[in-house]
Structure 1
Amino acid sequence: MADIANRGDILNLVNTFYTRAFADSLIGPIFTEVVHMDLVRHMPIMADFWQTVLFKAGLYHRNALKIHFDIHALEPLTLDHFNRWLQLWTNTVDALFSGEKAEMAKVQAHLIAGSLHRRVTGRPASQYSTISMRPQEGQTSRENG
């Protein structure tokens, strides 16, 4: 299998992924019933996003965090939602591509999903934000570790 090499590959990836996501029983209704996503209009935006992530293309200029906050206000996005998104994304990448960029697409998706989930649920974006040398005020060192 070839690696992700260009925008055509990215369009194939996002089209395949969103076709699967729309049909999924857990996350599909968020796209189809909550935000009523226009898939045809959304594909170039997502291609810009992933082309920027994978190739530093500088094409994506939207605020992905705000978009997910807006969705979360309509329908709370749970860890199960993010895990399913990540599972579908990873399976789609693995079904279509193999190589350095394909691996990067999976790693970046994992980091992005984790960060978005933490942010929409009111926690800091960094997965390391809870690491501390000293207890926070009102917390014992045992609770902190």
Structure 2
Amino acid sequence: MNAYQPTHQDSAATRPDIATREDILTLVETFYTRAFADPLIGPIFTEVVHMDLVRHMPIMADFWQTVLFKAGLYSRNALKIHVDIHVKEPLTLAHFNRWLQLWSTTVDELFSGEKAEMAKVQAHLIAGSLHRRVTGRAASQHRTISMRLPEG
């Protein structure tokens, strides 16, 4: 997974931070419009899961409003959804990295500030965890270290 890099752009001062549900809807609608058109990840949305973008937007707004503002609106099982997709079409590191690239670019084009940075950081954490889980590994990016006692 590509490491998260904070954005430092001079034009950032002219963009607002993510502050409302309307901001989140703008973000997810812009992002998913781009994702659907993307040659790498678009077919997963359009040909594998046949996602209804209009129906999906409020769900994703609930998800990101919960992530960014602790709104408690999202109650689905995101892992199961991605595992089910992975069974139909393996989700590779390239898919997750492209998703992150599109997400981060979209956030940076629309917003700047604490919540915008949080949206990118959380996306990296979530994507990393989902990728590890759908490929059969532990969710944590940290491995558990166990100490073996000397024999005898």
Instruction: Tell whether the structures are fold-level matches, with TM greater than 0.5.
Output: yes
- Does residue 47 (structure 1) correspond to residue 61 (structure 2)? The answer is yes
- Does residue 134 (structure 1) correspond to residue 143 (structure 2)? The answer is no
What's the CA shift for 1:78? 0.3
Q: Which residue of 2 aligns with 1:103?
A: 117
Secondary structure of the residue that 2:140 maps to in structure 1?
coil
Q: Which protein has greater RCO, CA pairs closer than 8 Å, 6+ apart?
A: 2
Q: Which residue among 63, 68, 71 is the counterpart of 2:82?
A: 68
**What does residue range 23-62 of structure 1 map to in structure 2 within 5 Å?**
23-62=37-76
| Cα distance in 1 between the residues matched to 2:61 and 2:31 | 12
Q: Give the superposed CA RMSD.
A: 0.9
Q: Which amino acid aligns with 2:126?
A: I
What's the CA shift for 1:132? 1.5
Q: Which residue among 96, 99, 111 is the counterpart of 1:85?
A: 99
Q: How many residues align?
A: 134
**Deviating runs (4+, > 3 A) in structure 1?**
none
Q: Percent identity?
A: 83
Q: Which amino acid aligns with 1:132?
A: I
Q: Which amino acid aligns with 2:121?
A: V
| Cα distance in 2 between the residues matched to 1:116 and 1:64 | 8
Q: Deviations over 1:78-97 (max 9, x none)?
A: 00000000000000000000
Q: Which residue of 1 aligns with 2:10?
A: none
In the superposition, the TM-score normalised over structure 1's length comes to 0.91
- Does residue 3 (structure 1) correspond to residue 6 (structure 2)? The answer is no
